[in-house]
Amino acid sequence: MTTMPPATVAAIEAALRAELAPLELTVRDDSAAHAGHAGAGDGSHFSLQITSERFAGLGRVARHRLVYHALRHLLPQGGGPGIHALVIDARAPGEA
């Protein structure tokens, strides 16, 4: 089993900036609010708001797929640690 890098705000921001060139990006670590629940030990909980030109003309599912692809090295595969939960608000420029 390969060792995954820790899921941190900085790691998430770096991955999203590298792949999606966001115009706006906010990543929040919500892990403390989920301490003690069944999946909390498997990874961290994050929320993100991202605005990128890459999302123009795409639906919600396609936008989320781009985000997940950018974060693939931080997602658990085979039960390893990583991002346990991710709330995504992905918008194209000009969307409210």
Asked if residue 79 has pLDDT above 80, the reply is no
Whole-model pTM: value is 0.83
Which position has the token pair 């301490």? 35
Question: 36 vs 55, which has greater pLDDT?
Answer: 55
Phi, psi for residue 28 in degrees, rounded to 5: -125, 135
For 6-52, how does the pLDDT look when each residue is reduced to its tens digit (9 = 90+)?
A: 688 999 999 999 999 999 999 999 887 666 665 555 458 899 999 99
Q: Indicate the residue type of 71.
A: L
User: What does the pLDDT read at residue 13?
Assistant: 96
Asked if residue 54 has pLDDT above 90, the reply is yes
Q: In 10 A of CB 4, how many CB atoms? A: 17
